[in-house]
Amino acid sequence: MNVKRWIVRREPNWQRLDTLLRQIEKKGLKSLQAQEIRELASLYRSTAADLARVQTQQIGNNLTQNIHLLTTRAYTQIYQGSRRQEWQAVLEFYRWGLPALIQQTYPYIAAATALFLMGSLFAWWYAWQDPTFMSLIVPEKLITTVRDEHKLWMGSIVGIEPLASTEIMINNLSVSFGAVAGGITAGIYTTYLIVFNGLSIGAVATLVGQNNLAYPFWAFVFPHGSLELPAIFFAGGAGFLLARAILFPGKYRRLQALKFYGSLAVQLIFGIVPMLIVAGTIEGFFSPNPAVPAPMKYLVGMGLFVSLVTYCRRQRSQLLRRK
């Protein structure tokens, strides 16, 4: 290989790559046009091949170092820029994509919420009518603690907050993922989970109400429940989306419907997971903390719920007007 001739032929490409990189380093990747971005990628690949050649042929240390530096700069800008774009896409999703998705899938989320409330109200009403119903839903140990000892069970969390918080997160995530996956059963398992959780809350609420412990109980529930329960409703909505694809594919073929509604369900999961992590942290560290006054817990819970509702009502057009 004629080294000098090869260098003369390849040098314009290295200079052009250096020029593009300088522009990016000063003004960012967005300063390039689409054609220049394609050119950048092509020049990076060819320069990386040139680096391999000069290293194999051992063509001078200075040239090798210069091309190595050039390829390193190009690699950093191309792949870090790609990662930045990915993070920007994630931020955009949580900024306005998730609220828009919740508004789009609201009927399914509302159906899950209604089933939960129906289960809660039924358990509350029936537990007052038939005391034996309570034992079918609520563990006997919990009933004994409330009725016989006249105290709540949350104090057991104090002192083991990290472990308790982790267990709570895992449990909530498993329930939510079960509700989503239950859509594959045409929504039967999703309905069961939502209704059963409603029955449990209704029965426990009746138990603490009968023993004059409702105020501290709801002070415990409000802070984390303001996020945890909506997350479960979202999970139920995601499950019903899958059920819709199976039962009522509409204008789609069933496989196409599963892909379409399944993509919406997956996006809802991306919203559910952070909510449950935050809720689990609050339930493990804040909700059972005896040093925090009950009124403060109520305020925090209501504040979180109002913030969540406000967030879910956001629309991209409003954000653009603010910008």
In three state form, how does the secondary structure of 148-198 look?
A: CCCCCCHHHHCCCHHHHHHHHHHHHHHHHHHHHHHHHHCCHHHHHHHHHHH
Q: How does DSSP assign 14-58, residue by residue?
A: HHHHHHHHHHHHHH-GGGS-HHHHHHHHHHHHHHHHHHHHHHHHT
pLDDT at 50: 86
What pLDDT tens digit does each residue of the chain (323 aa) get? 677 888 888 889 999 989 988 888 888 777 888 888 888 888 988 988 888 888 777 777 778 888 888 888 888 777 765 555 567 777 888 888 899 999 999 999 999 999 999 999 999 999 988 888 888 899 898 899 998 888 887 766 555 556 667 677 888 889 999 999 999 999 999 999 999 999 999 999 999 999 999 999 999 999 999 999 999 999 999 999 999 999 999 888 888 899 889 989 999 999 999 999 999 999 888 988 889 999 999 999 999 999 999 999 988 654 444 44
pLDDT at 282: 93
Q: Which two tokens stand for residue 313?
A: 């009502």
pLDDT at 85: 59
pTM for this prediction: 0.73
pLDDT at 193: 96
Query: CA nearest 187: which of 229, 235, 227?
Result: 235
End-to-end CA distance of the chain: 58
For 41, 83, 88, the CA distances from 29, given in Å and listed in that order, are 12, 12, 14
pLDDT at 320: 45
pLDDT at 319: 40
